[in-house]
Amino acid sequence: MKHIEVVAAIIVKDDKYLCVQRPWNKYNYISEKFEFPGGKIEHEEPKIDAIKREILEELKIDINVIEESVTVNHEYPDFKMTMYSFICDANDYNFELTEHIDYKWLKKEELDTLDWAAADIPIVEKLMEK
C-alpha cells in the first residue's frame, strides 16, 4: 500500500486554531473533511521547509514554526500516512484560501464540533487536553 508523509500546521492566533475544509475528493473519507493546512513532504525535504512551503502555497502566508506536536500514523482504505504536526504562528494572518473551501478559527474546546479527517483526531484530542 502507498505510504505518504505529510506535514500539517496548527496555526494559533489569540488562543484559536485555524481549521480548514478540504475540497471534494474521490476518496469520500477525506472529501470535504476539516484538516490542518499542509501537504506532502517532497523528496528529501526537511519537514520545517515542507510546512513553510505548503502554507505559503495554500494560504499565501509566511508562518513561524514554534514546536513540533503529535506525529500520527494512520491507515486509510487506499493509502497509509505519517503526519507530522507543528504548532505555528504568523506575523500577518491575512491569508487567502487557494485550495480549501472553508475555514474556522476555533477555541480548543470547540474543536470537536467539526467533521475532521480521521487522521486528525489524535491531534485534535491532544489540543483539547492542553
- Residues in contact with ligand 8DG by CB under 6 A are 6, 8, 30, 35-36, 38-40, 54, 81, 83, 117, 119-120
By beta-carbon proximity to ligand 8DG, the closer residue of 30 and 93 is 30
Reading the block at residue 80, the C-alpha cell is: 497509509
Smallest gap, in angstroms, from Cβ of residue 117 to ligand 8DG? 4
Parallel/antiparallel/unpaired status of strands 63-75 and 38-40: unpaired
Reading the block at residue 120, the C-alpha cell is: 486528525
By beta-carbon proximity to ligand 8DG, the closer residue of 6 and 11 is 6
Nearest residue to ligand 8DG on Cβ basis = 39
Burial letters 19-37, b for 16+ CB under 10 A, else e? bbbbeeeeeeebeebbbbb
